[in-house]
Chains A and B, each alone.
Chain A
Amino acid sequence: MEARNLGFSHGVRPALFDISARFAPGQFSVILGPNGAGKSTLLSCLAGLLTPDSGAALLGDAMITAMPAKSRACRIGLLPQSAQTHWAIAAETLVALGRYPRQRGWGLSPDDRAAIDAAMQATQTSAFVGRPVTELSGGERARVLMARVLAGTPQWILADEPLANLDPGYQIDMLALFRAQANSGTGVIAVLHDLHHAACFADHVVLLHQGRVFAAGDAASVLTSDNLAAVYGIDADVRTGKEGAIELFIKGRVAL
C-alpha cells in the first residue's frame, strides 16, 4: 500500500502536501506526528474514505478510491477513531457486521460464523457473547470493535488512534494484537500518539509534520532527538539499549 505524491485539502485549508510513503504487508507501520499534522487525513485517504486532490493512494497498482466499495472493504479493514456504538446490540452481532462486504443475501454462512469465532478468540472477546456492547468497559469494547475488523479477514488493517481512552494494560493488549496480525502477514497501519509505543512495537514509522512526511523508516532512524525536537518541540534523550531496544526519555520542551 502506497501514498504517491498525495495531496489533500479540507475545503480551502490544505492538509497534506505531496505525501509519498510505502507500507509493506506483514509489517506494523505507525503514523506519528503532532496534532493537526494530517495523520488521520492520510489514514482516511489510504482507507478510501477521502479522495486525494492530487496524487493517489494505491493498493498494488489500483487506485484505492477507484476500487468497488465492497472489494475495497474486503481487503482494507478500518478501525475508526471513535469507539462509539450507537445501539445496545450484542457483542457477536457487532462482530458479525465485519462480514458485511463478504455476505451474499441474508443470514450468516458457515464461513461467516467461523471467521466471527476466530476473530473473537483472537481478541479474547468470546466471553462477551450475548452481552450488549454498551454495557462493556471501554477496553472490552475496543477489543470487540477490533474483532469486528478481524472478522472481515482483511489484508490490511488501518487503525486511527486505537489506543485513545484505554488504560496502559489494554493499550499493550491492543498493540500485541496488531503485532500478531502483522506477524501473520497482514499489513497494519496505525495512527498513534505515544512515542514509546511506536518505539517498542513499530516496524516502520512515518513521521508527519505540517502535512508533509518529515521522516520515514524504522523506529530507530525516525525517533531521533533532532527529529523529535523539530517536529514536536520536545527535548528527548533517545538511546539504543540492550538488544537494540530504543529507550526514550522526554525531558521537557525545547527552549525556543
Chain B
Amino acid sequence: MTTRSINLLLVSFTLAAFLLSLTAGKVWIGPADWFADNASGWIMTELRLPRAVLGLAIGAVLGLSGAVLQGYLRNPLADPTILGVSASAAFGGVLSIYLGATALPLGLFGFAMAGAALSIILLILLADRGGGPLGFILGGMVLSTLAGSLTAFLISIAPNPFAASEIISWLMGALTDRTMDDIVHALPFMAAGMILLLTTGRALDVLTLGEDGARSLGINLKRLSWMIVLGVGLSVGASVAVAGVVSFVGLIVPHVMRRLVGEQPSAILLPSALGGAILTLVADSLVRLMPGAGELRLGIVMAVLGAPFFLVILLRQRKRMA
C-alpha cells in the first residue's frame, strides 16, 4: 500500500473513531438524537462533542509531537514528556488548584500554559547555547524532575484531603467534563504548535545523516530546535492544560506508523497525528464503557496499555543492537 492510501485509510478510521466517541458511553446516542431537543441532544452538545473534539486534538498533538521528537533526537524511545514541558504545565495546573485559582476565568488553563511557557523559554535558552539533542534530553530531565518535585510538594502541603485528591485526579489525565470554553482556549495553541511541527519533516529526514551531514546540506539546526521546542511546547502544553498528562500515545503511535509507512521521519508525521487521534478517541470511549460507578482515568488506561508495549520496544531494540 502506498503512503497516500494509508493516510486516506487513517483519515477514515479517525472519522469512525470520532463518531464512536460521540455515540458510545453510559448512554448510547444514535445519530437521530444528536441534534434533538432533549436530554440526549444536551449530552451530545454539552458533553460528548467537546470531549470528542478534545480527544481528537490531544491525540493528534501527542502522536505528532512524539514522531517529531523521535525523529529529531533520532531516538525511538523519545516521547512528548521528554522535554519536561508536560511536567511544567502540570505543575502550573496543580499550583492553580492549590491556590484555588481554578474559579477564575482561564485560571487552570492560564497557570498550566504559564508553566509550559516557562519551560519553553528555558529550553530555548539551552538550545541557543548549542545544547543539541543531548542537551535537550538532559535539560528536559532536569525540568521534569524539578516540576515533579514541586508538584509533589504542593500535594503534600495541600490544605485538605479534597484539594489533594482533586490535584491527583487532575494529574492522571482525563477528558471528562470539558466544555466548549476549554476547546476554544486550547485549540489555537494546539493548531499553531502542530503547524510548526508539520513543517519540520524535511529537516528531520536530512538529520538521518547526522548533525554534520544535515548542517552541510544547509539545515539550520538552531532554527529547527526552536521550532520543535515551540511546536511541542505550545501544543503539548495546551493539551496538558485541558486534559492533564496523557502518557504513552506519543511513544507508541510513531512506532506503529513506522511499521505501516516505513521509517522516513517526514513520512510518519501525518500518520502519527491521525493514529494518535484514533488511539485516544478509542481509549476514551473504552474508558466510558467500563462498568462501575466511577470512571477509569484515560491517563491510567493509556499507561496500562503502553507500559507493556514500551517493554517490547526496548527488548526488540536491544536485539537489533546485539
Contact = CB atoms under 8 A, between A and B. Distances in A.
A100 B202 contact: yes
Contacts of A44: 212
A80 B210 contact: yes
B64 to A, nearest CB: 17
A242 B50 CA distance: 85
14 contacts: A44-B212, A47-B212, A47-B216, A49-B216, A69-B215, A69-B218, A73-B216, A80-B209, A87-B265, A89-B208, A89-B264, A90-B262, A94-B208, A152-B217
A85 B209 contact: yes
B177 interface: no
A249 B215 CA distance: 40
Interface string A60-99: 0000000001101100111011101111111001100110
Contacts of A14: none
A211 interface: no
A34 interface: no
A162 to B, nearest CB: 13
Contacts of A49: 212, 215-216
A194 to B, nearest CB: 22
B96 to A, nearest CB: 40
**Interface band, chain A:** 20 to 34
Contacts of B213: 78, 80
Residue from A97, A132, A148 having most chain B Cβ neighbours under 10 A: A97
B47 interface: no
Contact of B264 (A69, A73, A87): A87
Given A94-B208, A152-B217, A89 B263 contact: yes
Contacts of A77: 216
Contacts of B217: 73, 97-98, 100-101, 152
Contacts of B178: none
Interface string B266-309: 00000000000000000000000000000000000000000000
Contacts of B202: 100
A97 B264 CA distance: 11
B74 A86 contact: yes
Interface of B: 74, 202, 205-210, 212-213, 215-220, 262-265
Given A70-B218, A72-B218, A73-B217, A148 B209 contact: yes
Contacts of B210: 80, 82, 84, 86
A155 B205 CA distance: 24
Contacts of A89: 205, 208, 262-264
Contacts of B207: 86
Nearest to A99: B217
Contact of B216 (A76, A84, A132): A76
Given A86-B74, A87-B208, A97-B208, A48 B216 contact: yes
A157 to B, nearest CB: 11
Contacts of A73: 216-218
A86 B207 CA distance: 8
Given A85-B209, A87-B263, A100-B202, 20 more contacts: A49-B216, A69-B219, A69-B220, A72-B218, A73-B216, A76-B216, A78-B213, A80-B212, A82-B210, A84-B210, A86-B207, A86-B210, A87-B74, A89-B205, A93-B205, A94-B209, A97-B206, A97-B217, A100-B218, A132-B263
A65 B220 CA distance: 13
Nearest to A82: B210
A87 B74 CA distance: 8
B264 A101 contact: no
A120 B262 CA distance: 21
List the 6 closest A-B pairs by CB distance, nearest first.
Answer: A78-B216, A73-B218, A87-B263, A69-B218, A80-B212, A86-B74
Residue from A70, A86, A132 having most chain B Cβ neighbours under 10 A: A86
Nearest to A77: B216
Contacts of A145: 209
Contacts of B74: 86-87
Nearest to A40: B212
A131 B206 CA distance: 18
A86 B205 CA distance: 10
A84 B74 CA distance: 11
Contacts of A93: 205, 264
Nearest to A90: B262
Given A87-B263, A89-B262, A89-B264, A97 B209 contact: yes
A98 B214 CA distance: 10
A70 B217 CA distance: 7
Contacts of B220: 69
A98 B218 CA distance: 11
A159 to B, nearest CB: 11
B230 to A, nearest CB: 21
Nearest to A132: B263
Nearest to A89: B264
Interface string A221-241: 000000000000000000000
Contacts of A72: 218
Interface in A31-70: 44, 47-49, 69-70
Contacts of B216: 47-49, 73, 76-78, 80
